[in-house]
């Protein structure tokens, strides 16, 4: 359903009226397209403290050029900030340039891991999270602000390319931690998944279909998995993408074994997207509503992941990306079952990620969508839908492609340093952290 308020605020009368009334003024977001794959404009690089990062080679490959009075992106290297005086340098660096960042521009703050042996450094680096979240809520005009903690610039290339591109339009206020895993650069950054097989559950429609499309765009052979009742749609999507349709009940006890049997050569990317809602307040929720949501959204993910890892179906360098939700991170009235299932996904990711990497060479991450414009949200009553759209720093709902682009970044072969992360795709929702 079209966001008529967003369209209205894009007109001269709309801008005048909303400004006078103090209403939200969302800006139309700049998203990726083949014709416009990069942000238009320059990159301003700033430093606070003393840094040893070799950022120049990585930033040179983002499609942005150094210099310019109205930067499309600002990267502040604050990895060397170790005390309160260093935070003063952060202010001194950002203060003169924030106002000049172009609409739909990006601010990326680079921080260091917290040093457990130095509480001054830990305090200063933790302070960068409060800065990032607060700046994201005030910067406006479709601009985003994110914090990336890292120790090696080369391992951050896929993440910096994502955060400094139109693909990250609905990702803001996020804290992403990178490990030290040696990066694996693809032969072709435009089609990084060439020669790889990706399976997407619940891919016959909605967000799952958008994920399948994006992975296919990036070169993957996509296996479109959905329930038997959606077989016609699954085959349609697979045919359009040059992929393969696979229909089965993901909650079946042998679903993992059946997937492994259908893919004897293995797979490289496993996307757990399938999910359902059965909303009702807990006091009015029968056990069946609770059980069905937990079974589809969490139990099936646990079982199939375990089975595919045990069978060796995920090849070394593989990626598992599950779908959480801000309902699981912040809670939502009427969704105790759904919130429990999605919080469970976050727990799965954080616990399994280090073991899966050590034992199988596979990373495990999750996306956590906020208000995304789908057929489901279109059915929400008008005033609740409008509140959901505006309750984030970008003052609008996201699109399925926003979740898909974030998923594709996590599935990227050069994203091996991203592991155990739950990344919100919510426009920096005002709900929760």
Active site residues: 338
Q: Whose CA is closest to 208, among 223, 193, 192?
A: 223
The CA-based diameter of the chain, rounded to the nearest angstrom, is 63
Which residues are bridge partners to 77 per DSSP? Answer: 47, 110
Tokens 């172009």 label which residue? 102
Q: Whose CA is closest to 215, among 275, 271, 168?
A: 271
Q: Which two tokens stand for residue 169?
A: 């339009």
In angstroms, the CA 128 to CA 176 distance is 12
Q: Whose CA is closest to 310, among 277, 274, 355?
A: 355
Tokens 């009226």 label which residue? 17
- Per DSSP bridges, beta strands 314-323 and 73-80 are unpaired
Sorted by sequence, the CB contacts under 8 Å of residue 316 that are 6+ apart come out as: 360, 361, 362
- In a 13 Å sphere around the CA of 165, the CA atoms on its Cβ side amount to 21
For residue 61, CA distances in Å to 35, 43, 121, 136, 164 come to: 18, 11, 31, 25, 11
Q: Whose CA is closest to 273, among 403, 378, 389?
A: 403
């Amino acid at each position: 359903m079209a966001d008529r308020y967003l369209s209205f605020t894009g007109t001269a009368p709309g801008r005048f009226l909303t400004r006078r009334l103090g209403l939200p003024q969302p800006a139309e977001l700049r998203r990726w397209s083949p014709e416009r794959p990069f942000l238009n404009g320059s990159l301003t690089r700033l430093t606070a403290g003393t840094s040893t990062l070799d950022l120049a080679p990585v930033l040179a490959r983002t499609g942005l050029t150094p210099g310019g009075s109205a930067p499309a992106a600002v990267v502040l290297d604050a990895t060397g900030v170790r005390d309160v005086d260093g935070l003063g340098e952060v202010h001194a660096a950002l203060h003169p340039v924030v106002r000049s960042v172009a609409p739909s521009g990006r601010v990326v703050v680079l921080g260091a891991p917290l040093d457990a042996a130095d509480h001054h450094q830990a305090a200063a680096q933790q302070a960068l999270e409060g800065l990032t979240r607060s700046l994201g809520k005030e910067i406006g005009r479709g601009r985003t602000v994110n914090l990336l903690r890292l120790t090696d610039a080369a391992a951050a290339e896929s993440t910096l390319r994502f955060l400094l591109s139109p693909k990250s339009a609905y990702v803001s206020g996020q804290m992403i931690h990178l490990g030290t895993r040696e990066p694996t650069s693809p032969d072709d950054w435009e089609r990084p998944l060439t020669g790889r097989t990706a399976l997407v559950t619940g891919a016959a429609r909605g967000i799952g279909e958008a994920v399948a499309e994006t992975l296919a765009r990036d070169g993957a052979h996509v296996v479109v998995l959905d329930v038997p009742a959606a077989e016609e749609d699954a085959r349609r999507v697979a045919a359009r993408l040059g992929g393969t349709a696979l229909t089965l009940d993901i909650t079946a006890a042998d679903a993992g074994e059946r997937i492994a049997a259908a893919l004897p050569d293995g797979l490289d990317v496993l996307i757990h997207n399938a999910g359902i809602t059965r909303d009702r307040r807990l006091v009015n929720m029968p056990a069946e509503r609770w059980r069905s949501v937990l079974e589809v959204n969490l139990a099936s993910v646990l079982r199939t992941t375990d089975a595919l890892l045990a069978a060796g179906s995920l090849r070394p360098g593989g990626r598992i990306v599950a779908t959480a939700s801000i309902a699981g991170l912040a809670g939502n009235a009427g969704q105790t079952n759904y919130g429990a299932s999605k919080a469970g996904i976050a727990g799965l990711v954080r616990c399994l990620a280090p073991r899966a990497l050590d034992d199988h060479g596979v990373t495990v991450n999750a996306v956590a969508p906020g208000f995304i414009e789908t057929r489901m949200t279109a059915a929400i009553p008008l005033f609740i839908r409008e509140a959901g759209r505006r309750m984030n720093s970008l003052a609008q709902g996201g699109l399925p492609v926003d979740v898909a682009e974030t998923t594709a970044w996590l599935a990227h072969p050069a994203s091996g340093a991203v592991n155990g992360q739950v990344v919100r795709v919510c426009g920096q929702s005002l709900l929760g952290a």
